[in-house]
Structure 1
Amino acid sequence: MKKLIAVSLALALAACNGANDDVTEDAGTNEDMAEASDILEGDAPGFEAVAPGTYQVTRSGGEVDYIQIHPGMTFSRVDAEGNATGGSIFMKDGMTCFLVEGEEDEACFTDGPTQEDGSMETTSEAGDVSTVVPVDGNLDDYVGDSE
Structure 2
Amino acid sequence: MEEKCTIRLMSVEDIEDVIVVEQDAFPVPWSREAFQNELTNNQFAHYLVVEVDGKVVGYCGVWVVIDEAHITNIAIHSNYRGKKFGEILLIHALDLAKTFGAKKMTLEVRVSNEIAKQLYEKLGFQSGGIRKKYYTDNLEDALIMWVMLNGNEAG
TM-score range, shorter chain: under 0.3
**When the two structures are superposed, what TM-score results if normalisation uses the length of structure 2?**
0.22
Q: Which has the higher contact order (CA 8 A, sep 6+)?
A: 1
Q: Say which one has the larger Rg.
A: 2
**When the two structures are superposed, what TM-score results if normalisation uses the length of structure 1?**
0.23
| Structure having the larger proportion of residues in helix | 2
